[in-house]
Structure 1
Amino acid sequence: MELIGSVFGSAAGYLLPFLFVLTVVVFFHELGHFLVARWCGVRVLAFSVGFGPELFGRNDRKGTRWKVCAIPLGGYVKFAGDENEASAPDTAALARMSEEERAGAFQTKSVGRRAAIVAAGPIANFILSIVIFALLFSVLGRSEISPRVDQVQAESAAQEAGILPGDLIVAIGGEPIETFSELQRAVSVSADIPLQLAIDRSGQLIDVTVTPKRREITDRFGNVQKVGLLGISRSAKPEDIVKRQFGPVEAVEEAVKETWFVVARTGGYVAGIFAGRESVDQLGGPIRVAQISGQVATLGFAALLNLTAILSISIGLLNLLPIPMLDGGHLLFYAAEAVRGKPLSERAQEYGFRLGIAIVLFLMVFATWNDVLHLSAL
């Protein structure tokens, strides 16, 4: 009985934070679609968090069915005129509609309005991340450590470049930096890429070229990441550490910067995969997300909110990929329609959706397989 209780408790420790994070991200994504659709005069048939059998729900005064379904791996908003949850057009249903009903159908709206409705989902994800980051910055503030070098590891990239203890790194690639965190971020995404550093050494400004070495690091939970490292440690002197508090405007500004960093880092990683610089073994699926959610939850609610913001950005970017069935695929179809002056043929759209389903299924299987390999290596 103790073993069963331990296993159940461990599963709940992962499952509950995972459901919280995913539900919040999915809800706001679909809420973006929903609000803009209502604003554009589209009749919304269903708003669902999750797929599969309905667990519970209710109808609002405009006839939309709000529901929670059994499989919590996504969600959807279904519009009048849609054949399925992927918003494939139902030509037969459209033909049977009265003029009044057709006026509320998604497919009868202008290409600009349809594009706005589709783009609203990923945009809502980015807005959610900015709101969360701004909340965390305004409430908790942030400890900022000067980018001063304390120690240099032997045979490291920093030692090979001639960086010395006491050096203050003031710029990277001509861009000024003020914190050790900014230095870490720039270095971590620049493995095997030369960086130009401006260093203040006892009041004298010198330029140094250093190439971060790709290394595996293990966090406190045993997760392994491959990042660029210089091989230096930060200063722990009190004069190099400042607790910074943010007003509302400053918090939003920092939140936008934080969101853009995650977008740029994710885009750089994907580009690195195609360029052969990054490994696909870092890609994770729902199992990895559940595991990380449970781990981060042990650090507190603020850490879980931070993870929610990062995952929201990832979901927004994923949905913007030009793959039919995803939001980016729909936007690709609408771009073609805007150029041609008419929609793609039903046959072309059908083939596109089939291809999209195949790609999405492949990505899900691949990510899940990576998750299994990751768990087996722990």
Structure 2
Amino acid sequence: MNTVIAFILMFGLLVSVHEWGHLIFAKRAGMLAREFAIGFGPKIFSFTKNETLYTIRLLPIGGYVRVAGDDPEIIDLKPGHHIGLEFNEDGKVNKIIVNNKDKHPNAHLIEVEAIDLDHNLTIDGYNLGDESNLQRFSVDRKAFFLMDERETQIAPYDRQFASKTVGQRAMQLFAGPMMNFILAILIFVIIGLVQGVPADRALIGEVQPDSPAAEAGLESGDEVIQVEGSSITTWQEFTSIIQESPGKSVDIVVKRDSQTESMSVSPKEVTNGEVTIGQVGVTLAFEKSFLGTFKYGFLQTYETTKLILVNLFMLITGQLSIDMLSGPVGIYDVTDQVVQTGFMNYLMWTAMLSINLGIINLVPLPALDGGRLLFVGIEAVRGKPIDPQKEGIFHVIGFALLMLLMIVVTWNDIQRLFL
């Protein structure tokens, strides 16, 4: 149960922060954000606030923000359609009743002659049964379609995605991944504030009992300043020499309580794959540093980003197999293992997944933020947008392929669980 709760909280946080970025910058640009969804599939919870429908959906495989004009509108009225109109106090249409008009006895029924809900916000039509008098009705900017008794707010062109500048659209698309990187930085900062940050020198933290370090007399708090006659300033320098000296006696000098101590340690031989390295049984110390904590947050995010990009490049070039990928099932399994090792490791895992989510969404693949950013970039270069229908087909096909990939990855995850 702890793993289930941890997974739900982690998934909800990562997706919510990502989609919140899209939502905030959509609203800042004046776009109509129709829906903010966590998950896909059937709705299990929903509410509406400030024009946006907030939903939690059944399948935990992502989320989305649906912006007006960013996806095909499902309601397309044409000349000849019979509709009902309801009006506000200013005499403007505030409800356009598409069907079930008998449930709205006070609605004004007309046959549509012409309709413009993008620019002029007008409907031209005849009263049903009287085609001698063509009337024009002004439509409120926040009017609703009513179809199957479900309301959908209209979106004048200036509130649609396509009406915004290249910069505004690019920022709205980039905001999701950006928020994932910001979240990772914040999590690493929290970790640093709680447990401290790795010392920027060769400062020993824990000494394992009965280890070569303990036998040599090394203690927690010792600072290694010299190994085999060479000055040591970083932990990496110290561990590199130790790893290269399995079974050999190594002379070291440490600083302890403002004094220096000399001793010899013999790293034990440890086989790592086909390579034998030396280990002495010590860990790097952590120190409390307020400013260092923020540096740690950015540095850890950078190092994790670099590692993920290297692995992604290896996957693209065939150096890594697709079997190395994990979907929700595999992530759940790893989360189960991480949760058992402690809350700090769980936070670290969450930060790493947040960075991974940000990077994957920036990959220029169809239906992902990166794919859509690619089209915005092409528009900026060529000076005009690509045909929306062609772009839509590209994203639909791409989304289908991504779902197929998700199925394959999930199947591999399930097989690994039972092998």
TM-score of the superposed pair, with normalisation by structure 2 = 0.64
1:69 matched to 2:44? The reply is: no
For residues 413 and 401 of structure 2, the distance between their equivalents in structure 1, rounded to whole angstroms, comes to 18
For residues 196 and 358 of structure 2, the distance between their equivalents in structure 1, rounded to whole angstroms, comes to 26
Larger relative strand fraction: 2
Q: 2:235 maps to what in 1? A: 178
Query: CA, structure 1 residues 258+300, in 2 after alignment: closer, same or farther (shift >3 Å)?
Result: same
The amino acid that maps onto 2:358 is G
One of 13, 18, 21 as aligned partner of 1:24 = 13
Q: 2:268 maps to what in 1? A: none
Contact 1:48 1:66 in 2 (8 A): yes
For residues 238 and 171 of structure 2, the distance between their equivalents in structure 1, rounded to whole angstroms, comes to 36
Q: 1:36 maps to what in 2? A: 25
Q: 1:252 maps to what in 2? A: 294
1:317 matched to 2:359? The reply is: yes
Q: Note the C-alpha offset of 1:241.
A: 4.6
1:15 matched to 2:15? The reply is: no
Q: 1:128 maps to what in 2? A: 183
For residues 413 and 287 of structure 2, the distance between their equivalents in structure 1, rounded to whole angstroms, comes to 38
The amino acid that maps onto 1:178 is W
Paired positions, count: 302
For residues 298 and 30 of structure 1, the distance between their equivalents in structure 2, rounded to whole angstroms, comes to 29
Q: Note the C-alpha offset of 1:357.
A: 1.4
Query: CA, structure 1 residues 244+95, in 2 after alignment: closer, same or farther (shift >3 Å)?
Result: farther
The amino acid that maps onto 1:111 is V
Query: CA, structure 1 residues 119+201, in 2 after alignment: closer, same or farther (shift >3 Å)?
Result: farther
TM-score of the superposed pair, with normalisation by structure 1 = 0.70
For residues 51 and 300 of structure 1, the distance between their equivalents in structure 2, rounded to whole angstroms, comes to 31
Deviations 1:143-195, CA, capped at 9 Å, x for gaps: 559499x98xxxxxxxxxxxxxx669989xxxx85348997xxx9xxxxxxxx
Larger relative helix fraction: 1
Moved more, 364-373 or 124-133: 364-373
The amino acid that maps onto 2:191 is L
Structure 1 spans left out of the alignment, 5+ residues? 1-11, 152-165, 188-199, 204-213, 217-228
Moved more, 267-276 or 328-337: 267-276
Q: Note the C-alpha offset of 1:338.
A: 0.8
User: Which structure's CA Rg is the greater one?
Assistant: 2
One of 354, 364, 370 as aligned partner of 1:328 = 370
SS at match of 1:338: helix
One of 250, 272, 285 as aligned partner of 1:242 = 285
Contact 1:147 1:168 in 2 (8 A): no
For residues 408 and 276 of structure 2, the distance between their equivalents in structure 1, rounded to whole angstroms, comes to 33
Aligned-residue identity in percent:
29
Query: CA, structure 1 residues 182+318, in 2 after alignment: closer, same or farther (shift >3 Å)?
Result: farther
Deviations 1:104-136, CA, capped at 9 Å, x for gaps: 212211111101000000000000000000011
Deviations 1:281-333, CA, capped at 9 Å, x for gaps: 32111101111112212223222221111111111111011111100010001
